[in-house]
Amino acid sequence: MSKKLQAIRGMHDILPDKTPLWQLLEGAMFDVCKQYGYSEIRMPLVESTDLFCRSIGEVTDIVEKEMYTFEDRNGDSLSLRPEGTASCVRAGLEHGLFYNQIQRLWYQGPMFRHERPQKGRYRQFHQIGIECFGMSGAEIEAEVILMSYRLWKKLGLESELSLEINTLGTSEERAVYKETLVSYFNQHIDQLDEDSQRRLTANPLRILDSKNPAMQTMIEAAPRLVDALGDDSREHFEQLQTYLKAAGVGFTINPRLVRGLDYYSHTVFEWTTSSLGAQGTVCAGGRYDGLIDQLGGKKTPAVGLAMGVERLVLLLEQHEWEVAKPLAYIVYQGDEARAKALQLAEQLRDELPNHGVILHCGGGSLKSQFKKADKVGAELALILGEEEIKENTVSIKFLRDSKEQQQVPQNELSTLLSNYG
Ligand code: ATP
Ligand code: MG
């Protein structure tokens, strides 16, 4: 017997009962982006593997063990994108979007990482991302944080999410700090797990991010990057905090928030929730002034964030949401009535463009058609029977309240319905 066909582990269908929440989130973000004057960019799902190695870095979880990499038919190494920033920068460089320009961009779509699937962690997941280019002040960092905050407020999630911020300073400051950190970790080398020992030379900052419980006390006591910063970096970070306070956004400073990638500088931040277990980070971002020249462009300041759509939808699922229901379901009997009903449905969609109108398709008794009308949650059934056809009328049956059935002239129907619901 042939094997049952099913989706790939960690890659999910988003079924019709869930898509309304996705649309709610995407629609709200779409509105926010419009309000702040951001333009959408759409990039391919597949890029050359080299792009991710050069941007995300060889010594990161993503590149070391999570990428879907394969050989194209002509032998090139390609990868499914594990995130959007690298692709966005590649696109910007390729099309000259950065040259003496300010860009405020956003994108959305699937990302791919070969991780162990669990609640809130999948192999195909979706991100909504923002990337800004050409602005070096803390105000643009505040702006992208405020955009996410505005989105939480629109969705009623603001009380469940907390903001953590940190600064990584400049790459020069980090280089000095790295030496201090490496010598500290060397003093405690026996406490470092295998991953951390490997990272000690390649990416020591990432060790601060370790979730290994056995290493926590030692990490807590490590020297802090904030103490190694120069005046400019300190001031930049202070400035951001002032902006956030003035805008009424609460935050905590988490000195262990490092985001592990070499191209980050100055501000990094994360929005987290305690109600999704270990997968509590729903949005993460920061400044990455180093990336564009790292990929061959002119040095360009950049700030961005990425939200995990599945995790946000999991949060939204914990709330009650009203799903929009159709206004009317048209039922009828006979061939002539069917043709009329099709016409009536189109007419109503012209006249009441903001309401759902469903035409019954297929046969069945009126009784079975009413059942279908009820099942889809329609407010009203519109009936085209013999009598109605003869008299150019429609009968309205109220499915959600006990009002008497009513027969009205067809040309008065839409005015009547526009006052309904
Ligand atoms: P984590 O520490 O949870 O692995 P990350 O640092 O790898 O997250 P980022 O690369 O910063 O994640 O991606 C931004 C956001 O995308 C995350 O905060 C999260 O909400 C979401 N995300 C990342 N990986 C996954 C995944 N495998 N499945 C679902 N959502 C994800
Ligand atoms: Mg990860």
Nearest CA to ligand 1 atom 22: 308
Encoded amino acid at 394, one letter: V
Tens-place pLDDT, residues 36-48: 999 999 999 999 9
How far apart (Å, rounded) are the C-alpha atoms in residues 357 and 378?
A: 8
* Strand ranges of the sheet holding 77-80, from the earlier edge strand across to the other edge: 46-48, 77-80, 69-71
Ligand 2 centroid to Cα of residue 52, in Å, is 14
Ligand 2 centroid to Cα of residue 115, in Å, is 8
Quick one: pLDDT at residue 421? 59
Angle at 90 between CA 89 and CA 95, to 5 degrees: 100
CB 141 less than 6 A from any atom of ligand 1 = no
Nearest CA to ligand 1 atom 6: 259
Tens-place pLDDT, residues 79-117: 999 999 999 999 999 999 998 899 999 999 999 999 999
Quick one: pLDDT at residue 214? 92
**Ligand nearest, relative to CA of residue 148:** 1
Ligand 1 atom closest to the CA of 279, numbered from 1: 3
Spatial contact of 275 and 115, defined as CB atoms under 8 Å apart: no
Nearest CA to ligand 1 atom 12: 284
pLDDT band at residue 18, thresholds of 50, 70 and 90?
A: very high
CB 125 less than 6 A from any atom of ligand 1 = yes
Nearest CA to ligand 1 atom 16: 308
CA nearest to 396, candidates 375, 411, 381, 410: 381
Residues 6+ apart with CB under 8 A from 214: 191, 193
Ligand 2 centroid to Cα of residue 281, in Å, is 10
Quick one: pLDDT at residue 260? 64
CB 360 less than 6 A from any atom of ligand 1 = no
Structure pTM?
0.92
**Ligand nearest, relative to CA of residue 129:** 1
Ligand 2 centroid to Cα of residue 156, in Å, is 26
CB 126 less than 6 A from any atom of ligand 1 = no
Mean pLDDT score of the chain: 94
Ligand 1 centroid to Cα of residue 309, in Å, is 10
CB 261 less than 6 A from any atom of ligand 1 = no
pLDDT for residue 259 is more than 90: no
Quick one: pLDDT at residue 1? 65
Mean pLDDT within 138-164 = 97
pLDDT band at residue 57, thresholds of 50, 70 and 90?
A: confident
CB 68 less than 6 A from any atom of ligand 1 = no
pLDDT for residue 346 is more than 80: yes
- DSSP label of 364: -
* Strand ranges of the sheet holding 393-398, from the earlier edge strand across to the other edge: 357-359, 328-332, 380-384, 393-398, 406-409
The number of angstroms, rounded, from the C-alpha of 358 to the middle of its chain's C-alpha atoms is 31
- DSSP label of 121: B
